[in-house]
């Protein structure tokens, strides 16, 4: 059992499964050991089948080397008398024939119930081992598939804005947007011609996005310096004579419990400035480039007379283009001000993946987020008036 198997076992099935497999492995080893001990010893088989061999050898053979056959050894002996030589040769031939006859068909060892039991236990343990190995492989495959799915979702979420920016074109030509009514019926198309940065659109939009995200950032992380950490006013030990480095405080950044050098501070300012004209041009360029996902809805500002999340959700589902995505941005007009008790705002604020914005509050981050943008006809008129070419 390799260490890799136990690592996979600990990773997939936990400590309990590893303990069970350890017990199974121990039982297998024990069964194999007992089966080996219960088998007849091949070295003792010769003595068991011919016990009279030891008594047939005369003392005159003690000084002889071990030959291939007793008869061949006797043929090379010249010191023995003729009678003794023939008697010894005939006795050794008889012993050799007896040994060969009895060793040719040894008796099969008796099979005991203990051997059958040990064999059954070993087989069951091996079956459990292979079943557990297959289960571990299946769990590893499921875990790998789940991790791949999670990574794909995270990548899609993290790179959504970057992908939209990367897909932007440098075209300055007017674009046609879809126009529908509040029921979703088509009402033709409308031409949209806003100012764009041309070849500099991607860089300008990215600059505006970085500035917006940086201005939202809060400096929450904070560490204390050695002057701010409580304690440390007493010199820890004498200046000389201890063999240690000289220290005047126990709150040094080099010591445990001391201050932090160059750590994050809550007074850091992450703000990034961008020119107003650059910011306006970035927003207008992005709106013009996202014309393919913009839908103008006639009468969207006054479609809801009272708050109803159910009706608002059904209306949004009927207005969006099929297969375009589940993230939707609603843009309404705020030329004459905006009331926080607006029925449409109260109806959509609890719907997942739906955002509500006024046309004067549009920014690059909000325009990059959705898959579909629903703009009221009044809000579209205000956008065209602000950013028209």
Distance CA 48, CA 58 (A): 20
Quickly state the pLDDT bin for 122 (edges 50, 70, 90). confident
Which residues does 53 contact at the CB level (< 8 Å), separation at least 6? 46, 47, 95, 99
Q: Which of 81-85, 214-218, 306-310 has the lowest mean pLDDT?
A: 81-85
Strand-pairing partners, residue 175, are 192
The confidence score (pLDDT) of residue 54 equals 42
Specify whether the CB–CB gap between 253 and 261 falls below 8 A: yes
The residue assigned the tokens 């794909």 is 152
Distance CA 151, CA 273 (A): 34
Strands (E), the chain: 175-180, 186-192, 294-297, 328-332, 354-358, 372-376
Asked whether residue 198 carries a pLDDT value surpassing 80, the answer given is: yes
Distance CA 182, CA 305 (A): 13
Quickly state the pLDDT bin for 296 (edges 50, 70, 90). very high
3-state DSSP call for residue 140?
A: helix
The confidence score (pLDDT) of residue 27 equals 66
For the chain, how big is the Rg over CA atoms in Å? 46
Specify whether the CB–CB gap between 64 and 77 falls below 8 A: yes
User: pLDDT tens digits for 204-254?
Assistant: 999 999 999 999 999 999 999 999 999 999 999 999 999 999 999 999 999
The confidence score (pLDDT) of residue 45 equals 40
User: pLDDT tens digits for 243-285?
Assistant: 999 999 999 999 999 999 999 999 999 999 999 999 999 999 9
Query: What are the structure tokens assigned to 53, written together?
Result: 């061999």
């Amino acid at each position: 059992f390799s260490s890799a198997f136990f690592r996979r076992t600990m990773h997939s099935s936990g400590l309990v499964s590893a303990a069970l497999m350890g017990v199974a492995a121990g039982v297998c080893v024990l069964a194999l050991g007992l089966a080996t001990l219960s088998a007849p010893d091949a070295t003792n088989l010769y003595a068991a089948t011919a016990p009279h061999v030891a008594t047939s050898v005369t003392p005159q053979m003690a000084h002889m080397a071990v030959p291939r056959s007793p008869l061949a050894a006797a043929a090379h002996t010249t010191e023995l008398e003729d009678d003794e030589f023939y008697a010894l040769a005939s006795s050794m031939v008889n012993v050799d024939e007896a040994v060969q006859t009895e060793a040719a068909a040894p008796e099969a060892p008796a099979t005991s119930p203990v051997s059958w039991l040990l064999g059954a236990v070993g087989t069951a343990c091996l079956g459990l081992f292979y079943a557990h190995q297959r289960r571990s492989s299946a769990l590893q495959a499921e875990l790998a598939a789940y991790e791949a799915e999670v990574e794909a979702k995270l990548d899609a979420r993290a790179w959504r804005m970057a992908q939209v920016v990367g897909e932007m074109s440098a075209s300055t030509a007017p674009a046609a947007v879809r126009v529908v009514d509040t029921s979703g019926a088509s009402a033709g198309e409308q031409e949209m011609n806003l100012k764009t940065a041309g070849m500099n659109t991607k860089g300008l939009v990215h600059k505006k996005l970085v500035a917006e995200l940086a201005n939202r950032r809060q400096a929450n992380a904070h560490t204390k310096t050695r002057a701010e950490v409580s304690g440390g006013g007493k010199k820890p030990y004498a200046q000389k004579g201890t063999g240690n480095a000289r220290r005047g405080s126990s709150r040094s950044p080099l010591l445990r419990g001391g201050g932090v050098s160059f750590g994050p501070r809550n007074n850091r300012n992450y703000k990034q400035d961008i020119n107003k004209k650059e910011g306006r041009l970035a927003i207008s360029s992005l709106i013009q480039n996202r014309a393919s996902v913009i839908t103008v809805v006639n009468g969207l500002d006054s479609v809801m007379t009272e708050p109803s999340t159910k009706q608002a959700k059904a209306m949004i589902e009927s207005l969006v283009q099929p297969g375009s995505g589940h993230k939707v941005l609603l843009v309404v007009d705020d030329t004459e001000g905006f009331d926080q008790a607006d029925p449409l705002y109260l109806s959509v604020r609890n719907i997942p993946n739906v955002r509500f914005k006024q046309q004067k509050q549009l920014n690059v981050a909000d325009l990059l987020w959705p898959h579909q943008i629903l703009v009221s006809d009044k809000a579209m008129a205000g956008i065209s008036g602000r950013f028209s070419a």
